[in-house]
Amino acid sequence: MDTYTAIDSLHGEYDGELRDIEGASLPLSYGRGLITEIKTIQTGAGLLDLKAFNLILLEGPDVEKFLQGLVSNDIRLIEIGHIQPNLLSNNKGKILFHIEVLRKAKDTYIVLTNAGEGTYVRSYLDHFHIQEDLEMNLLHPDQIRCDILGPEGLTALQELGYAANNFQWNFQKKSVLSISYPLGDIPRFVNIVPLSIYLDWTRALLEKSEHTDLVGFEALDQVRIDAGIPRVWVDYTRDNFPQEASLLSHISFTKGCYVGQETHARMYNLGHPNWQSVAIRVPVALQLKPEQELFLGEEKVGSITSLSSIESDAKQRGIAFIKYSAAEEKVPLAIEATGDAIVEQSPLATV
């Protein structure tokens, strides 16, 4: 696709390392280095090309009712111009897909998917679409998602004509959606941009602000770990329940029936998971890696799933998957049996 080629040429100008995901590239990193990209997110505005993250448009009078019976959160609570975290589960309550749902208008929603999962999520939704009055279409490749992360993101968008009180605005006479959706404490704007203007839109952002630069997915990953936000296929998989992944913020326990609801409600009201994801903080000097085993006394209670390279007070943050009993005690853990308890733990931001 010529336009995708032009966009990837822009990444090439910045020595971008790209990964192809079903015909759409995902920038992993740039020649400036990971530390510089993380700094851009922390203090400036980092542009992250997420065209590999497909978008699904659903519109029609029955959309709210349709989605309400499938997703884990309460669709009715989404205000127009806002995004809500959600899960799609199987009948046993285990996670199938992590998604976000954007409400664009009264009867119009956009489902934001993870890289390479758009067609699968659409197929899942279409499986349950029987008689509802709605239309469902992939926006790929006509619309592209680009996230802007960092405290200067709002200023960068305003330089191009965005107004904070209107999430739909125009650039080169084309409609752009820009929705505030923080990543932990990091300001973030999720932008949905027409393919026809995407390259000009990106270049304009880069040219108008000295604080704005391209960042890759690896920098995003470091920031989300530091913020205590678990990621699918890294910190949890389709073998896990939402409670195990500490994704209670993605679930409504009052909305009524949806696929997987019975299991989620039973675990919430009558029991607890056997395992749980927790945030951890460890001394940098230990030079730990993901998959490092963790112990409570002599008992092995789990392992580290993610570890950020971001340092603060000679410590780094991460995420671990441990036994629920160990998480309940909220006491430091060790990296060997009967070793010093030096791995601090706390609840994740998504609990």
Provide the residue type at 146 as one letter: C
- Write down the pLDDT at residue 270: 87
Between β-strands 188-194 and 315-323, what pairing exists: parallel, antiparallel or unpaired?
unpaired
Which of 327, 336, 328 minimizes the C-alpha distance to 300?
336
pLDDT digits (tens, 9 = 90+) for 96-127: 999 999 999 999 999 999 999 999 999 999 99
- 24 phi/psi in degrees, rounded to 5: -125, 130
256-284 residues labelled b (16+ CB within 10 A) or e (exposed): eebbbbebbeebeeeeebebbbbbbbbee
**1 pLDDT exceeds 80?**
no
List, in sequence order, the alpha helices (H) in 209-293: 217-226, 261-270
pLDDT exceeds 60 at position 254 = yes
User: pLDDT tens digits, residue range 219-236?
Assistant: 999 999 999 999 999 999
Burial of 325 (0-12, 13-18, 19+ CB in 10 A): middle
Give residue 2's pLDDT. 67
Q: How many CA atoms lie within 13 A of 350 on its CB side?
A: 29
Mean pLDDT of 27-37: 97
Domain ranges of the chain: 2-51+141-226, 274-346
- Kindly state the average pLDDT of the residues 144-159: 97
Distance CA 176, CA 198 (A): 10
Q: Which architecture characterizes domain 2-51+141-226 according to CATH?
A: 2-Layer Sandwich (3.30)
Ramachandran angles phi, psi of 123, nearest 5°: -65, -40
- Residue 210's contacts (CB-CB under 8 Å, 6 or more residues apart) are none
SS3 203: helix
Each residue of 189-219: pLDDT tens digit? 999 999 999 999 999 999 988 899 999 999 9
CATH class of the 274-346 domain in this structure:
mainly beta
Looking at beta carbons, which pairs linking 156-161 to residues 24 or more positions away fall under 8 Å?
A: 156/45, 156/205, 156/208, 156/209, 156/211, 156/212, 157/189, 157/191, 157/205, 159/205, 159/208, 159/209, 160/201, 160/204, 160/205, 160/208
User: What was the pLDDT predicted at 351?
Assistant: 83
Who's near 309: CB < 8 A, 6+ residues apart?
34, 38, 222, 316
d(CA 344, CA 320): 11
Average pLDDT of the chain is 96
pTM here is 0.96
Question: What is the per-residue pLDDT across 281-331, written as a single tens digit (0 to 9) for each?
Answer: 999 999 999 999 999 999 999 999 999 999 999 999 999 999 999 999 999
220, 321 Cβ separation under 8 angstroms: no
pLDDT digits (tens, 9 = 90+) for 41-99: 999 999 999 999 999 999 999 999 999 999 999 999 999 999 999 999 999 999 999 99
